[in-house]
Amino acid sequence: MTARHIMMMALGGAIGAGLFKGSGAAIDLAGPAVVLTYLVGGIILLFVMQGLAELAVNNKQARTFRDLVQPLLGGYAAHFLDWIYWKMWVLNIAAESVVAALFIQYWLPTVPIWVIALTVSAIVTLINLFSVKLFAETEYWLALLKISVIVLFIILGLVILFVSFHGHQAVGFTNLTRYGGFFPNGMHGLVAAMLVVIYSYGGTEMIGVTLAEAKNPEKVIPKAARGTLVRIIAFYILPFFIIVSLIPWNQVNGVPESPFVTVFKLIGIPYANHIMNAIILLAIISSMNSGLYASSRVLYTQALDGRVPRLFAKVSKRRVPVYAILACASSLYIGVLTSLFIGSKTFNYLMGSLGYTVLFIWIIIALAHIKSRSPLNKQSNGTRTFPYATWFALLALLAILIGVLATTALIMTVITAIIYAIITVTYFRSKAQLTAESIAPE
């Protein structure tokens, strides 16, 4: 994969349901100040990604996150990062398969959600199974399409804000302060919205699992990281600024259609609801596509290292880890079964756990980067400056974690804690088993 593939894949993972589906939830929590939450989240992301790019440059033999983290933070941190990252994506693609089905059901109201979700899941699976090149090209064009729509949304939104036409009066910025002020829910609302923000940005760190399939990763990864950051911050902050300026923040969730559809209708574009429904659908499929790639590569490298059955390390003639992809794709079909019982609630139910996971992934990456700058670390050449930016990111993430713990529903926290406890127990059990085998008499 080239830099353009990797950059678009990271964008594809990050600009998906989190933006189109989670936007209303974030605005509900923070009001117009949601723009600040995405700005803060973008700055933290910038610092974390800079650290990740530097780790990739320093470790040219690395294939995935585990190889970057293990020499610095040890086996448990590497194991924990690998499995929570894998868990994040398999849950995410399961949830998004149901969301994609809901958007298709807009046109096919008589077809059951589970049938549509099954069809979408099969298509995404086949794209990943065919070849890395096909996956990369598919993801590139899907990501480019939704980015083009977001750019169009920004341009049209700015026109509606500042230009009067055909009886339409320029809206201006009055909605930013009219309904309870810019901070209608205070600091509590800002902190609560940060979980949605972090979840929305999650997926950008996906460049860390492309190391083994990237050309010249020590050059490609930093370039992709820099290019991705600017675009993600722009594609989140500007759209949210336009949404809360055009529509009173307390009415965003009350409108049955997406804020993107509202803007297209105001400008007079025919069939805006159908066009936007199709774009959001492709955005979600793009995110599912990236998620299946990322989760399968984590499982593949685990198999190469002997931590899971070697079956998952087998590749096809096109160098695709078929069994790893099929194993991760099974979560799509679990999502299909889930939709039979709880339907559209799947996405909202899983978002809390996914937000926690992105937080911990970023915290571990930040810790690894800080450790890499230590004078005691062999990778440190002693000439690099103190990692002030990464320390800022780490402290900010810890503060957000504390705030999220205090504001998130208890059930979400308990579910996440159980999952993390299972990952921890499996690590120490396997370690104890290896120790027992090494000291057992022959």
pLDDT in tens, 310-330: 888 888 887 888 899 888 888
Query: Above pLDDT 70, what percent of the chain?
Result: 74
Return the pLDDT at 367.
93
Give the contacts of 183 (CB within 8 A, at least 6 positions apart): 30, 31, 32, 33, 189, 190
Residue 356 confidence (pLDDT) above 90: no
Packing angle of the helix pair 65-73, 34-58 (nearest 10 deg): 80
For residue 361, what are its two tokens?
Answer: 């992934």
Stretch 154-169: mean pLDDT: 78
Is 27 in contact with 34 (CB distance < 8 Å)?
yes
Return the pLDDT at 19.
64
Give the contacts of 300 (CB within 8 A, at least 6 positions apart): 312, 313, 321, 324
Give the contacts of 48 (CB within 8 A, at least 6 positions apart): 205, 362, 365, 366, 390, 393
Stretch 367-387: mean pLDDT: 70
Is 202 in contact with 358 (CB distance < 8 Å)?
yes
Stretch 149-176: mean pLDDT: 79
Residue 86 confidence (pLDDT) above 90: no
Return the pLDDT at 434.
62
Q: Where are the beta strands (DSSP E) in 3-82?
A: none
Place of tokens 């099969």: 122
Return the pLDDT at 102.
78
Task: Please indicate whether residue 29 or residue 368 has the higher confidence score (pLDDT).
Answer: 368
pLDDT tens profile 44-65? 888 888 888 888 778 777 667 7
Complete DSSP assignment for 312-326: GG---TTS--HHHHH
Q: Distance between CA 302 and CA 114 in Å, rounded?
A: 31
Return the pLDDT at 364.
93
Stretch 22-47: mean pLDDT: 82
Stretch 192-216: mean pLDDT: 67
Is 52 in contact with 364 (CB distance < 8 Å)?
no
Q: Distance between CA 389 and CA 259 in Å, rounded?
A: 35
Stretch 372-377: mean pLDDT: 73
Residues facing residue 168 across a β-bridge: 165
Task: Please indicate whether residue 69 or residue 406 has the higher confidence score (pLDDT).
Answer: 69
Q: Distance between CA 58 and CA 52 in Å, rounded?
A: 10
Is 8 in contact with 143 (CB distance < 8 Å)?
yes
Residue 212 confidence (pLDDT) above 60: no
Residue 383 confidence (pLDDT) above 50: no
For residue 404, what are its two tokens?
Answer: 């999220």
Residue 208's pLDDT band (boundaries 50, 70, 90)? low
Residue 296 confidence (pLDDT) above 70: yes
Stretch 208-229: mean pLDDT: 62
Return the pLDDT at 382.
46
Exposed/middle/buried for residue 79 (C-beta within 10 Å: 0-12, 13-18, 19+) = buried
Q: Which amino acid appears at position 5 of this protein?
A: H
Residue 340 confidence (pLDDT) above 70: no
Tell me which DSSP letter residue 165 carries: B
For residue 180, what are its two tokens?
Answer: 């309870």
Give the contacts of 122 (CB within 8 A, at least 6 positions apart): none
Return the pLDDT at 398.
92
Tell me which DSSP letter residue 168 carries: B
Exposed/middle/buried for residue 151 (C-beta within 10 Å: 0-12, 13-18, 19+) = middle
Is 309 in contact with 303 (CB distance < 8 Å)?
yes
Q: Which amino acid appears at position 295 of this protein?
A: S
Give the contacts of 388 (CB within 8 A, at least 6 positions apart): none
Stretch 209-235: mean pLDDT: 64
For 165, phi then psi, to 5°, come to -160, 145
* Whole-angstrom Cα Rg for the chain: 22
Q: Which amino acid appears at position 232 of this protein?
A: I
Q: Write down the mean pLDDT value for the chain.
A: 77
Residue 10's pLDDT band (boundaries 50, 70, 90)? low
Return the pLDDT at 394.
93
For residue 401, what are its two tokens?
Answer: 């974690």
Residue 303 confidence (pLDDT) above 90: no
Stretch 198-216: mean pLDDT: 63
Stretch 207-224: mean pLDDT: 61
Stretch 103-108: mean pLDDT: 85
Return the pLDDT at 41.
85
Q: Distance between CA 314 and CA 381 in Å, rounded?
A: 38
